Structure 1
Amino acid sequence: MKHETVTNVRFCETDAAGHVNNTSYFIYLEEARGKFFQSILKDYQTFGRFIIASTHCDFVSQAYYNQELVISTWISKIGNKSFQFKHEIRVKDSDTLIAAAGAAIVYFNYNEQTSEPIPAEFRKLLEGQLVAS
């Protein structure tokens, strides 16, 4: 299932070229992942033991001040100790693709400073959100 988050581009997120600065996209993606987790987890702290191992963003088109952007977020792959998000950012009015992105998330034990297998209950929640490519 794809989860959608809508954000409005603020002036402070643009740069001297007049378009959204590349660093702002990672803020949009982080917000979308947070809202994704809020939508599937009753208690974020129960399963909130993960870290981002990698993230990337391919910039396809430009976004500008005051545009509404829709960030689609979904789980694309689930491994033993990690899972992957995919994202698309589109302009709400025109459906123009602005960016395609992804993130690899590792289930992590902060006390031991090591990765751990994804717990069965959390895996089940993730599997319910899996979108086949």
Structure 2
Amino acid sequence: MYRTILEPRVSETDGVGHINNTTLPVWFEAARNPLFSLFTPDHDFGKWKMVIVKTTLEFIKQIYFGTDVEIRVWVKKVGNSSLELYEELYQNEVLCAKNTVVYVNYDLTAQKSEKIPAEIRQELNKHLLG
């Protein structure tokens, strides 16, 4: 499992006093940085590999400014060229949101998916959801 701690910002708080629901996809994506580094170590967007094809976000509890959040990311499934992640967001050790996301290992130049390399697959398998 990958863990990321984020500090909510005032600008992410909406008019009813909680973190705006449009913020969570951005936070979940920030927690995927270690995975992005596996596929594109130098973060060169000209060689970028991970292309999102599906995400499903479930809101469970409200999230507030003033207390850090923790995002936990597991690898749910590794396919030939795709990767499914399961993610949870906690504030004060309370589950506030869940997300699943599917990425494809993609060659932008050729405009087609590519098989996930064995060394990346090996690292992903260390973070499988148990």
TM over 0.5: yes
- Corresponding residue of 2:8: 9
- Corresponding residue of 2:84: 84
State the Cα distance separating 1:42 from its structure 2 match.
9.8
State the Cα distance separating 1:28 from its structure 2 match.
0.7
State the Cα distance separating 1:45 from its structure 2 match.
3.7
**Unmatched segments (≥5 aa) in structure 1:** none
Q: Which moved more, 1:43-52 or 1:122-131?
A: 43-52
> What is the distance in 2 between the residues matched to 1:30 and 1:43?
15
Paired residue type of 2:109: N
Q: 1:106 to 1:97 in 2, by over 3 A?
A: same
- Corresponding residue of 1:113: 111
- Corresponding residue of 2:57: 57
**Unmatched segments (≥5 aa) in structure 2:** none
- TM-score normalised by the chain length of structure 1: 0.86
- TM-score normalised by the chain length of structure 2: 0.88
Task: Report runs of 4+ in structure 1 exceeding 4 Å deviation.
Answer: none
* 1:90-101 matches, cutoff 5 A: 90-91=90-91, 93=92, 95-101=93-99
Paired residue type of 1:23: T
Q: Secondary structure at the match of 1:44?
A: coil
Q: Secondary structure at the match of 2:32?
A: helix
> Is the CA contact 2:36–2:50 (under 8 Å) kept in the aligned structure 1?
no
CA deviation vs aligned residue, 1:78-108 (integer Å, no higher than 9, x gap): 11110111110011x3x11110011101010
Higher helix residue share: 1
Aligned length: 127
Q: Secondary structure at the match of 1:130?
A: coil
> What is the distance in 1 between the residues matched to 2:49 and 2:114?
10
**What is the Cα-based RMSD across aligned positions, in Å?**
2.0
Counting aligned pairs with the same residue, the percent is 31
Q: 1:66 to 1:36 in 2, by over 3 A?
A: farther
